[in-house]
Amino acid sequence: MIRSIFFLFLTATFLFACKENQNKDKKPKGGSQKMVVTSDSVTQKKTLPLKSLRSFKGLADTTFIRLAEFSDEFAYDLRYATKNNFLKEKVYDCAECYTRVKTAKALLAANTDFRDKGVRIKFFDCYRPNSVQYKMWEIVPNPQYVANPKKGSIHNKGGAVDITLETLDGEALDMGTDFDYFGKRAYHDMTNLPQHILDNRKLLKQTMEKHGFWSIRTEWWHYNLGAASNDEVADFKWPCD
Ligand SMILES: [Zn+2]
């Protein structure tokens, strides 16, 4: 009897340890627990070898690529693949960050600059298929918060990203509001904020502008690649397995 209890105890310990290890495998380097949940599919595939930047050579600037295949130096918290967003609905089947090649090149260069300063880009949203824009419009049909899908947004063109900065240990920099906070506190021209918040936003804005992105006045997290404005609205959908 004692032997079988001991055996059961050993089996349970072994199973528990395996589960722990599985969870550990999913955890991105330096990431927080929150990131494990929200960016699961992005981080899981990170075990594949990274593609060299030279592989951009055969690709047109407008080709869509999966950013995580070219760099493991970004962080992800893709909110629209969860319910943790202003829509309170999950509108992506899985969390992925795709952009056009030219956007990816600019993001990689910007992230190199950020990393020199001890921080890195964390994505909230990247390319957004036009059909998802329709889904969002159905939930919140208000142009103040969601771009009209008929015209499409630069997210639909693969040239816009919603980002923040975090330290290389995964600690978010204070930007004064959460992502998708629709109010004056999120505006770039809101200067009545503690100095460290203004400094963090300035670092983000100046570096992104240096690499060809422009911002919109009301959202500190949103950046458009200047060279993307004439691209077509796309409805390419990434695979989820
Ligand atoms: Zn945006």
155 is in an annotated binding site: yes
Residue 23 lies in a domain: no
CATH of the domain at 166: 3.30.1380.10
For residue 148, give its domain range.
Answer: 30-228
In this prediction, residues 223-236 reach a mean pLDDT of: 91
pLDDT tens figures, 182-224? 999 999 999 999 999 999 999 999 999 999 999 999 999 999 9
Instruction: Using the mean position of ligand 1's atoms as its centre, give its distance from the Cα of residue 118 in Å.
Output: 24
Residue 2 lies in a domain: no
- Return the higher-pLDDT residue of 37 and 92: 92
Cα distances (Å, whole numbers) of residue 104 to 65, 76, 112, 121: 8, 15, 12, 12
Catalytic-role residue among 20, 209, 219, 232: 219
Nearest to 228 by CA among 158, 163, 153, 161: 158
222 is in an annotated binding site: yes
Q: How many domains is the chain partitioned into structurally?
A: 1
Lowest average pLDDT, out of 17-26, 46-55, 134-143, 144-153, goes to 17-26
93 is in an annotated binding site: no
Q: Are 158 and 133 in contact (CB under 8 A)?
A: no
The Cα angle at residue 225 between residues 219 and 230, in degrees rounded to 5: 115
Instruction: Using the mean position of ligand 1's atoms as its centre, give its distance from the Cα of residue 162 in Å.
Output: 5
In this prediction, residues 30-46 reach a mean pLDDT of: 41
- Return the higher-pLDDT residue of 127 and 36: 127
Residue 235 lies in a domain: no
Nearest to 80 by CA among 30, 39, 121: 39
Residue 25 lies in a domain: no
pLDDT of residue 48: 67
Residue 7 lies in a domain: no
Residue 234 lies in a domain: no
Instruction: Using the mean position of ligand 1's atoms as its centre, give its distance from the Cα of residue 126 in Å.
Output: 8
Residue 153 lies in a domain: yes
pLDDT tens figures, 75-113? 999 999 999 999 999 999 999 999 999 999 999 999 999
Q: How many CB atoms within 10 Å of residue 233?
A: 17
pLDDT of residue 31: 34
Instruction: Using the mean position of ligand 1's atoms as its centre, give its distance from the Cα of residue 216 in Å.
Output: 9
DSSP 85: S
Q: What's this model's pTM, rounded to 2 decimal places? A: 0.80
Residue 4 lies in a domain: no
Instruction: Using the mean position of ligand 1's atoms as its centre, give its distance from the Cα of residue 238 in Å.
Output: 19
Q: Examine the residue annotation and report whether 96 is marked as an active-site residue of this protein.
A: no
Q: Are 220 and 186 in contact (CB under 8 A)?
A: yes
* Token representation of residue 206: 């100046």
Q: Are 135 and 237 in contact (CB under 8 A)?
A: no
Instruction: Using the mean position of ligand 1's atoms as its centre, give its distance from the Cα of residue 222 in Å.
Output: 4
